[in-house]
Amino acid sequence: MKKSLILIFVLCLGSINLAQVTPSVSNLLRYGNGNQTLGSSEKKFQYFENLTDVRISFPKQINVGFRFLYDDPPEVGANFRGLSKRFIEYRDKGLFVRVGNSSELYSRGLVLNLFENRGLAYDTWIDGVKASYKYSNLKASLIAGTIDFRDSVNIARHEKYKLRGGNLEYKIKGIGKLGASFISAEATIPQFNNNKIANVELPELYFDLNYNEFDFHFGWASKWANTPIDKSTSRGNGIYSSLSFAGENLGITIDYKNYKFDLQDPFLKNDATRTTKLLPFQNPPIVMKEHSYTLLTRSLHIVDFNDEVGIQLDAIYTVNGDLNFNLNMSLSSTHNSYLYNSSEFSFTVEQENNLLPSTKINYSPFSEIFIEGEYYFDLETALRFGFASRTKTLYNEFTGANGSHTIKSYVIPMQFQNSLSSNISTTLQYELEFVNDNFNIDQENFNNHFLTIIASLFNKATFAIRYEFTNNDFDPSNRKDWLVGELGYRISGSNLVSLSYGRERGGQICSNGICRYILPFKGFRFSLQSNI
Amino acid sequence: MKIKFFYLLILIFLSASNIFARGNIDFSTETLNGDDIEFSEINKKGPTLVSFWALWCKPCRAEMKHLEKLYKKYSDKGFTIIGINQDSPRSVAKVKSYVSSHKITFPIVTDSNQEIFQMFNGQSIPLTVLFNKDGKIVYKHTGYLPGDEKKIEVELLKTFEKTN
């Protein structure tokens, strides 16, 4: 361990002095000491994470990189000490070859989207080989290797995949693109005392059309999964399409999803051991808004890629350079409604709904309308004001409407930022949420408040206070308020240090100019981010 | 404990150092308008600023407004900005309409699988990197605080002075 650290340090220092070799190092240290909150229970928790990404560029377009990870323990996920990623790559004109750990994305991710999200401890990077070659308008990509996937939410889910595949894309100048992908994988999925092997094949076809201000994308993917031990085969498919208009003052995007990667009745749908579900290396578009306001990032609708149909409209209108509006509307639901036959313990499809989402309660609908206005008084002073209405239902097919969970909420977010002088600027953000939750039986209606004040001094230091309050007497945390203070300091352009103390409810927080997702925690936190 | 101490030593070195490696970075990609671009070819024409941003990132959007102003002011002197969008396939369809309606005129490319971001060894966005005409990184900042755009302008003017 110690030798590896010394090696990294010497390699970085040494390579700085070699004329032809360019090192690049980024480091992220995070430390926390306090109590972690999970529902109403609290436990003592101390975490220490250090991630060092080193990338060394050699002449002739050769790059070597590795990540030294010290997660003992991390805030989320499993402990790890050692080299977690390493690669060597070569790129020259249209050719690119990489051996080692890689991310990858084919089209919009219907069959392959390998990525890492440290905050959520989600990592589907492959360990193997990937290559691509671009010649004129044609691009071909190949990938082969293994994925070791651990689900941080369900730690029993430790799956391994042997994956190989490819993608071919042809660009028609001035018109669009045509593409096809194929992925084949052998999955090893733990099931109680033994492992189940599943063979999966995923073909994909897609095209893009561009015409003046209009862009159209259509993608279709199919999924065939076979589990020999069960002698079972499952077939599914998914469609994602988008149409966008990019005008001078107006931009409109309409997205559509129709995911049936593993359409099953409620019995099988709720079987967590099923091997035919959407695979972790697939990650198609969610077709709903990704919010940056804190209260809107909570209680999110979880997209079921195995069974969901939905549509989204997003419009941006710029009245002039200083006044902008954003309207976003999305609706999604399951494909079918089912009738439960309690004497036979079986389900029958009551009504199929294959093309468009339904607002009927027995299709577990999710709907959201969000509108935001942004006005710049000048380049340093801006006011943002929004309104969101959101309803989500999780229908219980066994009990019907009485046992179904519906949450309705209205959120009013507002933010004002102002520069008091060339050295001092402030941001004030307030969010108010009205919630109706039918499972919060003794108090169905309650409010949440979120307030944050950020002061930025001399373009170097930030001081932030975040305060939250709820009048929900039955909040799972048994608390009504949360208060955190945070100090941030920029040592140089890309070296940031931050210290915080207090109790955090969690969610996405923007501080020190960066947005991130924070888990509920009470105590002291320290982070240092460096990049050279 | 010793390992943690060793880490601290590395971090003190990293934090205290305000050195920037030579660029040695090159990538070719396609803009939202379908044009193929190569970073090294653009950079030959003059100082180039690379800005990593996303639709969900408010500080990034605030910075973009300032960058557009800088681009308009200095583009006739050979200065270029490349905006590298980091939205995942979840939101990437909305990028073009955002760019067009906000009248962003510098080239925007999408980097949904973060391939270019990894080349820059980025940790978080916004990440803004200024290259001089020789491909050397002369300024870099992570996060956006009001006033950062003034620093960029100062560094940009320095690169113009050195070139002249």
Give me the DSSP letters along A258-299: EEETT---HHHHT-TT-SSSPPTT------S----STGGGSS
pLDDT for the residue B127? 93
Confidence of residue B54 (pLDDT cuts 50, 70, 90): very high
Cα(A131)–Cα(B127) distance, integer angstroms = 27
Confidence of residue B148 (pLDDT cuts 50, 70, 90): confident
Q: A344-373 burial, b for 16+ CB within 10 Å, e for fewer?
A: eeebeeeeebeeebbeeebbbbbbbbbebb
d(CA B76, nearest CA chain A) in Å: 22
* C-alpha dihedral sign at A497, A502, A507, A509: negative
Confidence of residue B22 (pLDDT cuts 50, 70, 90): very low
ipTM: 0.83
Cis status, amide bond into B89, omega within 30 of 0: no
pLDDT for the residue A52? 93
Cis status, amide bond into A73, omega within 30 of 0: yes
Pick from B14, B99, B114: CB nearest A530? B14
Q: A414-438 burial, b for 16+ CB within 10 Å, e for fewer?
A: bbebbbeeeeebbbebebebebebe
**DSSP assigned state of A478:** S
Q: Using the beta-carbon criterion (under 8 Å), do A493 and B34 form an inter-chain contact?
A: no
**DSSP assigned state of B21:** -
d(CA A503, nearest CA chain B) in Å: 24
Cα(A474)–Cα(A462) distance, integer angstroms = 35
Cα(A219)–Cα(A111) distance, integer angstroms = 10
d(CA A290, nearest CA chain B) in Å: 6
The DSSP bridge partners found for residue A135 are A138
Closest CA to A24 of A45, A40, A8, A47: A8
Confidence of residue A39 (pLDDT cuts 50, 70, 90): low
Cα(A489)–Cα(A163) distance, integer angstroms = 44
Decide: A468 and A481 in contact? Cβ < 8 Å. yes
Closest CA to A113 of A303, A355, A286: A286
pLDDT for the residue A7? 54
Q: Using the beta-carbon criterion (under 8 Å), do A57 and B25 form an inter-chain contact?
A: yes
State CA A160 to chain mean position distance.
Answer: 21
Listed as own residue / partner, the contacts of A171-174 with beta carbons closer than 8 Å and 24 or more positions apart are: A171/A137, A171/A138, A171/A139, A171/B34, A172/A137, A173/A137, A173/B34, A174/A210, A174/B34
Chain A residues with CB-CB distance to B96 below 8 A: 215, 244, 246, 251
Pick from A25, A65, A103: CB nearest B14? A25
Decide: A178 and A207 in contact? Cβ < 8 Å. yes
Decide: B44 and B132 in contact? Cβ < 8 Å. no
Has residue A514 got a pLDDT over 70? no
Residues of chain B with pLDDT > 90, as a percent, come to 40
Pick from A115, A252, A514: CB nearest B97? A252
Has residue B26 got a pLDDT over 80? yes
Cα(A337)–Cα(A320) distance, integer angstroms = 46
Chain B residues with CB-CB distance to A510 below 8 A: 58-59
Q: Most B CBs within 10 Å: which of A11, A17, A175, A530, as the mutation test of the B interface?
A: A530
Q: Which tens digits make up the pLDDT trace of A327-377?
A: 999 999 999 988 888 888 888 888 777 799 999 999 999 999 999 999 999
Q: Which residue type is seen at A484?
A: V
Residues 6+ apart with CB under 8 A from A238: A110, A220, A221, A223, A257, A258, A259, A260, A261, A284, A305
pLDDT for the residue A329? 97
Q: Which tens digits make up the pLDDT trace of A56-79?
A: 988 768 899 999 999 999 887 788
CB atoms within 10 A of CB B152: 21
Cα(B92)–Cα(B88) distance, integer angstroms = 6
Q: Using the beta-carbon criterion (under 8 Å), do B89 and A531 form an inter-chain contact?
A: no
Both structure tokens of B120: 């820059």
CB atoms within 10 A of CB A481: 11
